[in-house]
């Protein structure tokens, strides 16, 4: 237990520091990378309470996919840092207010004394992956399917909103390209492998 406790404090400290870094970093790419560290540390914390499925999925989905695309976008956009920093002090009270309300809500939700409880016991003694799957596909099947549907709609909507046919752009026709045969592209010319070449005469004519 002591090792778990030490690890908990180490991970928590890293989590809090990196979260502060996300807000305070001057470079937006550094901020995104610190956010990745946040997610990773959170997942380590979840592993400590044996929520292995949630922990690994957090790494898989957020670190492995979402943040990669986030990083992609942030690197592509050439964000100027200075204008972003200007409003920092001005908007600080609003940010503090939002953070305080969120903290209060979380404390209400969890209940302060619940924070003292030790790690929850494993319901089945085995993998909680199987348990989560059981619950999702029996008890919560309808909400699960509805959530999946909403996400799919969101994906389609995002594509539809941003898709535009630009004039002047050239498009490939993949099926045409796949169906192409070598004979349409290259012409093989038969040539004798040994050609009669004029060889230097045996005896040189006198100049």
Partner 1 sequence: MSVFDPLRNFILGYGDIGLVVWLVVCILCIAVPVILAVAFYVWWERKVLGWMHVRMGPNSVGPAGLAQTFADVFKLLFKEYLLPAKSSKLLFVLAPLIALVPAFAAWAVVPFDQRVVLSNANAGLLYLLAMTSMGVYGIIIAGWASNSKYAMLGAMRSAAQVVSYEIAAGMALVGVLICAGSLNLTDIVNAQSGAYGIFSWFWLPLLPLFVIYFVSGVAETNRLPFDMAEGESEIVAGFHVEYSGAPFAVFFLTEYANMILISFLASVLFLGGWLSPFPESWPLLGVPGWWWLFAKAFFFAFLYLWFRAAFPRYRYDQIMRLGWKVFIPIALAWIGVAGVLVYFGWFGLGGAR
69: contact with partner 1 by CB under 8 A: yes
97: contact with partner 1 by CB under 8 A: no
**Dist. CA 91–CA 84, nearest whole Å:** 11
Among positions 15, 33, 35, 38, the unique one binding partner 1 when judged by CB under 8 A: 33
> Is residue 196 classed as helix, strand or coil in its secondary structure?
coil
Q: Is the Cβ–Cβ distance between 40 and 56 less than 8 Å? A: no
52: contact with partner 1 by CB under 8 A: yes
- Tally helices (H) and strands (E) across the chain: 10, 0
36: contact with partner 1 by CB under 8 A: yes
Structure-token pair, residue 21: 């870094």
53: contact with partner 1 by CB under 8 A: yes
Q: Is the Cβ–Cβ distance between 50 and 125 less than 8 Å? A: no
68: contact with partner 1 by CB under 8 A: yes
Give the binding site for partner 1 (CB under 8 A): 3, 27, 29, 33, 36, 52-53, 56-57, 59-60, 63-65, 68-69, 71-72, 75-76, 126-127, 129-130, 172, 174
């Amino acid at each position: 237990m002591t090792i778990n406790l030490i690890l908990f404090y180490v991970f928590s400290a890293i989590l809090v520091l990196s979260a502060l870094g996300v807000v305070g970093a001057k470079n937006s790419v550094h901020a995104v990378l610190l956010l990745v560290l946040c997610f990773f540390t959170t997942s380590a914390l979840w592993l400590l309470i044996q929520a292995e499925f949630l922990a690994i999925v957090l790494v898989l989905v957020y670190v492995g996919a979402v943040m990669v695309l986030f990083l992609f976008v942030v690197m592509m956009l050439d964000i100027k840092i200075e204008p972003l920093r200007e409003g920092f002090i001005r908007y600080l009270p609003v940010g503090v207010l939002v953070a305080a309300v969120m903290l209060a809500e979380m404390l209400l939700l969890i209940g302060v004394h619940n924070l003292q409880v030790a790690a929850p016991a494993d319901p089945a003694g085995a993998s909680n992956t199987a348990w989560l799957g059981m619950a999702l596909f029996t008890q919560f099947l309808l909400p699960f399917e509805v959530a999946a549907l909403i996400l799919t709609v969101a994906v389609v909507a995002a594509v539809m909103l941003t898709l535009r046919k630009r004039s002047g752009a050239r498009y490939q026709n993949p099926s045409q390209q796949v169906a192409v045969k070598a004979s349409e592209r290259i012409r093989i010319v038969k040539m004798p492998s040994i050609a009669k070449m004029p060889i230097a005469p045996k005896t040189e004519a006198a100049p």
